[in-house]
Amino acid sequence: MTYMQNRDISWLRFNLRVLEQAENQLNPLLERLKFFSIATTNLDEFFMIRMGSLLDIALVKPDANDSRTKLPIKKQIQMIYDFTRNYYLKHEYVYQELIQSLHQKNIFILKPDQLDSEEKKIIKTYFKSMIFPLLSPQVIDRVHPFPHLESKKEHIGVLLKSNDRTMFGLVPIPSNDILFRLPGESLKFVFVKDIIYKYVDLIFDMFKIEEKVAFTVTRNADIQMDDLYEDSVDIRIKMKEMLKKRKRLAAVRLELSSPISKTFHDFFIEKLNIQSYQFFHVNTPHTHHFVSSLKETMSSKLLQSLSDTPFKPFKRYTNQAMIPTLLNKDMILTFPYDEMTPFLRLLEEAAKDPFVRSIKITIYRLARRAKIVDYLIQSAENGKEVTVIIELKARFDEQNNIDYSEKLEAAGCHVMYGIEGLKIHSKLCVITRQIKGQIQYFTQIGTGNYNEVTANLYTDFSLMTSHQGIGQDAIKVFQSISLSQYDVSYAHLLVAPETLKPKILSLIEHESSKGHQGYIVLKMNALTDVDIIEALVKASKAGVQIEMFVRGVCCLLPGIQGETDNIRVMSIVGRFLEHSRLFIFGKNYEEVYLGSSDLMTRNTERRIEILTPVNDTNLKMYLKNYITVLKKDHIDAKEINWDGSHVAIPNQSQDVSSQVYMMQHYDKMHPTYKKLNWIQKILKIKTP
């Protein structure tokens, strides 16, 4: 199908966008370094998760094809590795630009050979006294077998010669210190890895070193959960076992600091069970952690001068009790422009309110220190029934969630881990209150996690409402999870995997029936669901105007004549991670939904996800104006082209970065719901 693109190639193009932010001179230097770090981390996780899965599929079913583009799996893997090889060229170029920019600020990250004679003496002394005692070098022979190499841990490999005997040696790089700062007032640094590399001959002084290379192995981290659900085994215990297993999965990538000989090449292939196409020469740091290490050495004044201007979220409803306020009107918090405090205060009030009977919440990711957990524990201690459904399969947050589940359980909360075969990704909280014989429900539904740290870094929506029908539906969700029965009908909420996708398809079909009068706006992180893509293509052919904001993966190619020429796709990559999900149908915003789900097959068919309708007219108007600002962005936004490339949006009448605009004007945002036309007045534009 000409209007489909491969999911993984789409993602790689998106990550190139992130790397370009590290190149963008408009960003402060430390923000550029941050984007470089994010792009590096993103690529690491891509190889650990996606490449691990693809290589596993290719082993089991070598004739498999991509379900969207029909691209053979082996060709897809080859394309990804080829794309990554080109990506690394850009990666190295951007890194060198950053190093030069640091030098202009009198911050120097140097190679040992760039130091003067006195500085070389200093690092040699440092190596002998502080580094050498911490090292655990090893030769590889019959009595010293090749060890398991931890994923993403840096090593120095050496090819050794002793008389007529050739052998290999390994030196794991300590992970506690990444940069060594040279003495003096100036900021001069050398990577600890480079110091070890320089003096590795002192470690193997009984051998002649024929060759040396710094390298890092990336391993598959896509642990499979299919065997976790055994009636006799606690999933928490099983998850702990699986986390140990993750550390030993197959190698999917080998990053090398320089080209190597055939002898070394064959050694790695044999010991790591890896193929030549999985080798990459990467003349940049193999880890992103050096950025945080660099920042730790800087004065607060220097940090401030090289960083974005601090932004403090707007404090809303500071002098209002949340429960009576919600009885009068619905609220939307927009992170990071709003503080999360109103929701936290709602939980705090519920913990103390004598009329509150229960609190039920789904948890996917939390901050390391979470006030939410404190309020839930306080509620349980005050005699409320507290039910917490915590997802132990939240990738890379498993251990954190295990720890919290044990803490909540010890405090008397009822802790559950979800439904067999389905990951619970929804962000749902419902408080039940009984007063004068009447039941009241206070429901919060969000697009992002209950994480007080990422709420300052991600754009998300949080709807709070006392709508009785939504509250009753929310209670049904918790009952269906506790009974492992998710085939339930709901009057208001869209709940995957049963009702969300059919309703979205129905709403798209309804707009299709309007022809040129139809209008759809979709904002999400990713679009991969084939059924929804085909429905959107059908709507485009019918003349429906479709505007999409897809931050990352987008398997639909817009602008293809006769098929998707009525579809426009924008991707915004800026200071904050665009994370909110919003679905709008009709030119007058007749149907508006927000919630946890992207339009990916895994979300619509294999997860518990929730979308809630936005019923309040004022809130709909607010969201309409919010979309207007996104559409005017041509600084942080790029348009996805018919070939999948990301292209700059032609200059318009005003330079607008939607995120900067929101920060600058959010303090002017409606102190009451009567001032909702602020954006239209300033931009002097009309929404469709």
User: Tokens at residue 572, please?
Assistant: 């915004």
Per DSSP, the residues of 412-445 read: T-EEE--BTTBEE---EEEEEEEETTEEEEEEEE
The C-alpha atoms of residue 688 and residue 686 are separated, in whole angstroms, by 6
Tokens 């559950």 appear where?
A: 416
Question: What are the tokens at 80?
Answer: 């990804």
CB atoms within 10 A of CB 305: 13
425 carries an active-site annotation: yes
Q: Give the tokens for residue 60.
A: 């089991």
Q: Which of 534, 517, 507, 539 is nearest to 613 (CA)?
A: 507
Out of 425, 467, 634, 646, the active site residue is: 425
What's the full length of the chain, in residues?
688
CB 160 within 8 A of CB 204: yes
Report how far residue 65's alpha carbon sits from residue 74's, in angstroms, rounded to the nearest whole number: 8
DSSP class of 149: P
Give dist(CA 487, CA 479) in Å, integer: 11
Q: In a 3-state reduction of DSSP, which class is residue 20?
A: helix
Contact 186, 106 (CB under 8 A): yes
CA 549/CA 522 separation, integer angstroms: 6
The separation between CA 640 and the C-alpha centre of its own chain, rounded to angstroms, equals 20
Q: Which long-range contacts (CB under 8 A, 24 or more apart) does 97-105 make?
A: 97/23, 98/22, 98/29, 98/32, 98/33, 98/36, 101/29, 101/32, 102/29, 105/29, 105/306
**What's the distance, CA 227 to chain centroid?**
26
Residue by residue, what is the 3-state secondary structure of 304-354?
HHCCCCCCCCECCCCCCCHHHHHHHCCEEEEECCECCHHHHHHHHHHHHCC
* Calpha distance 405→408 (Å, rounded): 5
User: CA 124: distance to chain centroid?
Assistant: 40
Measured CA distances, 410 to 340, 376, 414, 415 (Å): 26, 12, 10, 10
| Alpha carbon distance 473, 290 (integer Å) | 48
Our CA dihedral for 95, 100, 104, 106, rounded to 10 degrees, sits at: 80
**Encoded tokens for 423:** 């990951």
Whole-angstrom CA distances from 398 to 6, 354, 372, 388 are 29, 34, 18, 16
Identify the residue whose tokens are 């190639």: 9
Write the CA distances from 593 to 55, 116, 613, integer angstroms: 37, 63, 4
3-class SS letters over 214-276: EEEEEECCCCCCCCCCCCCCCHHHHHHHHHHHHCCCCEEEEEECCCCCHHHHHHHHHHHCCCH
Helix (H, G, I), strand (E, B) or coil at 209: strand
CA 266/CA 552 separation, integer angstroms: 37
The catalytic residue positions are: 425
